[in-house]
Amino acid sequence: MKQPELGKRIFELRKGKGLTQEELVEQCNINVRTIQRIEAGEVNPRSYTVKIILEALGEDLNEIDVISKKESVESNWTEGELKTLNNSWIFGVFYAILNLVGVLVLLYLATSNVSKVDVLSFKIPYAIVFFILIIPFLNGYKLLAQKFNNILLLNAVYVYFVISVLMTIIMFFTKSSGFISALEIVLSVTSMMIFGVGELIMGLGILKLKENIGSIAQITGIIKIVNGILLVTVVLSPIALFLMIGILILEVVLLHNTFKKFNSLITHDGKAHS
């Protein structure tokens, strides 16, 4: 931790312990003027000196560094990053609506005798809009993964996108109407399992965000993990598909709340920069 943050932290810790500068000096055997200058942010003390002071205050230097890094990440957001995060939840709303429409239309096509032309007239524009929406939606997660050094979530975003491409390709090979061939059954089962893996990995990545975002990330992560497991079983996949829209809404809330949190933090501190 660098000055003046270090001095402020030591001042807060000392006050929290109810110690005067003179009382702290007695415990760590350092000149009172040195303590005064450190707390005022006038000097950059050696790590050995900082360690002695923190030990006297019952704190660990490594723990202080972790807190400092976390606070630095929370306050170091550019306007462009905040815009990406804001766009992510907005596109997420439309992505959730698209998925709901997709489920309803595909159910209709599966139970109705419609021509291949009619089926494709839905699938082609659906696929185009799907990719227009999913990229900015996932960009929010990608940004959070990069900001918080969440390698698992970053890899999950890439895996989830690849799986989404595969799912869309598989969709074009199923008729969604009339007789279902053995090939279509295999493709449907495979797609469920692949999608389940994607949900599971994304859930694990989001769960790791609980340290930075809080309980909503923990709840969302756990639910996506459970949903992924349901999809992988195939037999329980109808339950998972029923939960999908609700989970997407929860993800939108997570991204929206995260944007509000860091945007208000930056606005309050006046530290946003381009």
Which stretches does DSSP call E strand in the chain? none
Helix axes 79-110, 237-269, angle to 10 degrees: 160
Among candidates 76, 30, 28, 75, which has minimal Cα distance to 54? 28
Residue 192 confidence (pLDDT) above 50:
yes
| pLDDT cut 70: percent of the chain above it | 82
Q: In this predicted structure, what is the pLDDT of residue 272?
A: 42
Whether 140 and 92 have beta carbons less than 8 Å apart is answered as: yes
**pLDDT confidence of 271, banded at 50, 70, 90?**
very low
- The end-to-end CA distance of the chain, in Å, is 25
Say how far apart CA 170 and CA 166 lie, in whole Å: 6
Say how many C-beta atoms besides its own lie within 10 A of residue 237's C-beta: 20
Q: In this predicted structure, what is the pLDDT of residue 240?
A: 86
The top-scoring range by mean pLDDT among 87-91, 160-164, 170-174 is: 87-91
> Lowest-confidence range among 48-52, 159-163, 177-181?
177-181
Average pLDDT over residues 83-96: 95
Average pLDDT over residues 234-250: 88
Name, in order, each residue with C-beta under 8 angstroms of 49's C-beta and a sequence gap of 6 or more: 30, 34, 38
